[in-house]
């Protein structure tokens, strides 16, 4: 049976889909962190590439992908769509399970889809250097790859505990030519102040964001963010567009689309073009966003204006949030640690378009092991949340003897997360819920 659906490179999407053209009311604007007044797009260009800021507020339905970005996408895109025939057999389910495999990218996740255009727009606007933060390293390595491909320098502030515990992601960032600093660092005022108070601070994503922003503001560099923002979700829509073409080759249409959400960009990139397409066809599709019970941003958070970082340097966004001081329990191994959510995802949850579900890491890893043992590919812990949700839906189909077509957003592979699997297999992962 055919289980791999490839597009050829002539079928690579040439434009991104912008959901802001199809929202029934505009998104609430970001607010200035000091005045709490709506922030003008111009103010954002101090931090971000001008074109990215334009895309942040654009209501054009389609935005052309620059040729140079398409050419870099062609290093790995279109990514494969697989039908999980071996998993279906193991679950003895009438459901048809498909997964769109973003692990095929050079750095192993969907993050490169936005890293490349962000590096490109900065390059053509004359930026010589970007700064960013990274936690586990997926975003840092993607942006390092993109900056190398487009010819621009990069400084990454990597959360110190990850810097020490994830030497392979650090090596990957350096292999792609990125400069990397353990955060908190001696490089910034923020870092020095934290270190003065606590020389052994393990760091946090909030601290690293603050350092990356300070570094950009004080050195004439620009800053780059790997999720949450509208233009990031826009860039990710190549995933959903390709998936639609591939599902058509497979001769099916998804009844359910499942993805994991940290900041919301991989799920947004998959589901937004399908939402648009389904509306045009008059089809009903269920969209399921999955998150850890250890960081239940949508299922337990509230919707309000909040900061993107712990140090209150970013603009305020109206979004689901657990509060910008939130840190998941240390035992949590499954990624998706961000306290906030993409405003686009928040809106679609409020509108009842997206259904959120939270899962405990023990259940998530348990199903990830079944997935790896049947399909071969090892899911990243983040991705495993979507895999688990899809498997639960497929089991329900088996109980009801109902065929459903389930499409998983498979955001990345777990080659750099094997220590989490080791911990699970050794029985060291406990329930957090």
Task: Examine residue 6 and tell whether it contacts a copy of itself (CB under 8 A).
Answer: yes
Return the exposure string of 37-63: e unless at least 16 CB atoms fall within 10 Å of the residue's CB, then b: eebeeeebbebbbbbbbbbbbbeeeeb
Minimum CB separation of residue 367 from a copy of itself in Å reads: 13
Residue 425 is a binding residue for a copy of itself (CB under 8 A): yes
Smallest gap from Cβ 377 to a copy of itself, in A, equals: 6
In the bound state with a copy of itself, the residue whose beta carbon lies nearer, of 128 and 300, is 128
Residue 294: name the closest of 431, 122, 118 by CA: 431
Q: Which is nearer to a copy of itself, 53 or 65 (CB)?
A: 65
Say how far apart CA 261 and CA 107 lie, in whole Å: 19
Find the part of the chain contacting a copy of itself (CB under 8 A) among 29-37, 104-112, 124-132, 387-395.
104-112
As measured in angstroms, the least distance from the Cβ of 75 to a copy of itself is 5
Token pair recorded at residue 362: 């023990």
Q: Nearer Cβ to a copy of itself, position 57 or 369?
A: 369
Which whole-number Å values give the CA distances from 99 to 131, 244, 268, 384, 406, in the listed order? 33, 12, 15, 12, 8
* Residue 4 is a binding residue for a copy of itself (CB under 8 A): yes
> How many whole angstroms separate alpha carbon 306 and alpha carbon 308?
7
Contact between 174 and a copy of itself (CB under 8 A)?
Answer: yes
In the region spanning residues 364 to 383, those forming contacts with a copy of itself, defined by CB under 8 A, are: 369, 372-378
CA distances from 6 to 100, 101, 159, 247, 274 (A): 10, 11, 37, 10, 18
- Count of C-beta atoms within a 10 Å radius of residue 419: 12
Give Cα separations from 282 to 246, 328, 406, 413 (angstroms): 19, 40, 18, 34
Q: How far lies 13's CA from each of 69, 126, 234, in Å?
A: 11, 27, 13
From the list 165-173, 188-196, 277-285, 287-295, the region that binds a copy of itself by CB under 8 A is 165-173
Closest approach, Cβ 333 to a copy of itself, in A, equals 13
177 touching a copy of itself, by CB under 8 A: yes
Q: How far apart are CA 428 and CA 81, in angstroms?
A: 33
119 binds a copy of itself (CB under 8 A): no
What token pair was written down for 126? 């004359």
User: In the complex with a copy of itself, which residue's Cβ is closer, 334 or 340?
Assistant: 334
Closest to a copy of itself by CB, 95 vs 115, is 115
Give least dist CB 168 to a copy of itself, A: 4
Q: What angle do CA 138, 262, 212 make, to 5 degrees?
A: 55
- Closest approach, Cβ 6 to a copy of itself, in A, equals 4
**CB contact at 8 A, 101 and 377:** yes
For 322, the token pair is 């657990």
Residue 186 Cβ vs a copy of itself, minimum distance, rounded to whole Å: 21
Residue closer to a copy of itself (CB basis): 149 or 316? 149
CB of 285 to a copy of itself, least distance (A): 26
Binding residues for a copy of itself, rule: CB under 8 A, are 1-4, 6, 8-10, 71, 74-76, 86, 104-108, 145, 148-149, 167-168, 170-172, 174-177, 369, 372-378, 415-416, 418-419, 421-422, 425
């Amino acid at each position: 049976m055919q289980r791999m659906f490839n597009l050829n490179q002539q079928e690579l999407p040439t434009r991104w889909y912008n959901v802001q053209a199809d929202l029934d009311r505009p998104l609430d604007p970001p607010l200035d962190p000091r005045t709490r007044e709506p922030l003008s797009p111009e103010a954002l260009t101090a931090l971000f590439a001008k074109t990215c800021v334009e895309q942040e507020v654009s209501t054009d339905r389609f935005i052309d992908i620059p040729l140079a970005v398409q050419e870099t996408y062609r290093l790995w895109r279109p990514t494969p769509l697989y039908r999980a025939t071996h998993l279906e057999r193991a679950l003895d389910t009438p459901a048809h399970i498909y997964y769109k495999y973003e692990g095929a990218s050079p750095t192993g996740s969907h993050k490169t889809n936005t890293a490349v255009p962000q590096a490109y727009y900065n390059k053509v606007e004359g930026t010589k250097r970007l700064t960013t933060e990274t936690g586990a390293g997926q975003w840092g390595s993607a942006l390092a790859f993109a900056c190398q491909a487009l010819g621009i320098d990069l400084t990454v502030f990597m959360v110190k505990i990850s810097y020490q515990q994830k030497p392979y992601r650090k090596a990957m960032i350096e292999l792609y030519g990125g400069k990397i600093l353990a955060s908190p660092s001696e490089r910034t005022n923020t870092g020095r102040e934290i270190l003065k108070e606590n020389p052994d601070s393990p760091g946090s994503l909030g601290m690293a964001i603050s350092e990356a922003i300070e570094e950009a503001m004080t050195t004439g560099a620009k800053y780059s963010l790997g999720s949450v923002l509208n233009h990031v979700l826009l860039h990710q829509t190549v995933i959903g567009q390709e998936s639609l073409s591939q599902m058509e080759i497979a001769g099916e249409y998804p009844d359910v689309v499942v993805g994991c959400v940290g900041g919301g960009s991989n799920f947004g990139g998959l589901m937004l073009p399908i939402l648009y397409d389904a509306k045009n066809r008059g089809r009903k599709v269920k969209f399921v966003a999955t998150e850890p019970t250890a960081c239940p941003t949508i299922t337990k958070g509230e919707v309000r204006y909040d900061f993107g970082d712990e140090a209150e340097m970013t603009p305020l966004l109206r979004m689901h949030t657990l509060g910008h001081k939130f840190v998941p329990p240390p035992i949590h191994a499954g990624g998706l640690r961000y306290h906030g959510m993409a405003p686009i995802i928040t809106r679609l949850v409020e509108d009842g378009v997206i259904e959120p579900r939270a899962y405990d890491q023990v259940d998530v890893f348990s199903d990830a092991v079944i997935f790896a043992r049947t399909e071969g590919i090892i899911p990243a812990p983040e991705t495993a949340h979507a895999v688990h949700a899809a498997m639960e839906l497929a089991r329900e189909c088996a109980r009801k003897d109902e065929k459903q077509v389930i499409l998983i957003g498979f955001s990345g592979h777990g080659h750099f997360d094997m220590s989490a699997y080791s911990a699970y297999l050794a029985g060291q992962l406990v329930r957090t819920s």
